[in-house]
Amino acid sequence: MIFFDFDCETTDFFNTLVQVAKLGYLSVLKWIHSNYPKLKTSESLIDHAVCSGNLELVEWINENRSEPCSSLAMDNAALYNHLKLLKWLHFNRSEGCSVDAMNFASRHNLQMVKWLHFNRSEGCTLDALRSAIIFNRSDIVKFLIENRSECYNEEAAKEIKLAISHSDYDIIQYFYQKFKYSNSDFTYHRELDGTTCDQNSIFNMDISELSFCDDDEY
């Protein structure tokens, strides 16, 4: 059981209000709202409430509280993998999101990445590709490279080193299919892989077996 200190004369009370929203306790928030109707916080309750994944709570705050919302709400919905909330914010709030939304979504949810790509204009940064590599999401890596210019350029090609450090051989092979690398690059990448490569590693192949990409239009 979680206990809250409702001494409204202290700063902790305002922190409690935020924590109640973040934990998704709608009944507790309603009690505070009824018993302390003039109590406000400078922080956005919706920004924090989306972390809980509780759509009913977010809808209630939207209808009954006056604290502002920010783009952090949609970013947090992406970070905590709440696609339904992300869509709700898109259709019911005007604050939008930042590039962090797609960057965060690239950790875990291809459907969310696609939805942001087709419905929002903020885009992403190279961090989206890095996140997909780190979390071993080859499906998201492929989508980003094939659909986002931020993830298909000379700088993106260098992220193969990150894939090598995580031994993501499917991703490494895909990089070789999409980006332009030289024979010396292959030798360097093989050295980076070192003793970590297994029988599935592209670096166990003879260099003559590889078809290096000669399309440098990225």
Enumerate residues 6+ apart whose C-beta is below 8 A from 125.
Answer: 99, 103, 150
Buried b (16+ CB within 10 A) or exposed e, 198-212: eeebbbeeeeeebee
Ramachandran category for residue 39: left, alpha or beta (phi over 0 → left; psi -120 to 50 → alpha) = beta
Work out the burial of residue 73: count CB atoms within 10 Å of its CB; fewer than 13 is exposed, 13-18 middle, 19 or more buried.
buried
Q: What pLDDT does residue 212 have? A: 52
Q: What is the mean pLDDT of residues 112-129?
A: 99
Percent of the chain clearing pLDDT 90 (strictly above): 61
Boundary of a domain, candidates 65, 97, 129: 97
| Same-domain check for residues 87 and 151 | no
Q: What pLDDT does residue 192 have? A: 82
Residue 116 lies in a domain: yes
Greatest mean pLDDT among 6-20, 139-153, 166-180 lies in: 139-153
Cα(64)–Cα(42) distance, rounded to whole angstroms? Answer: 16
Residue 195 lies in a domain: no
Residue 145 lies in a domain: yes
Per residue in 176-188, pLDDT (tens digit) is: 999 988 888 888 8
Boundary of a domain, candidates 39, 68, 97: 97
Cα(20)–Cα(4) distance, rounded to whole angstroms? Answer: 9
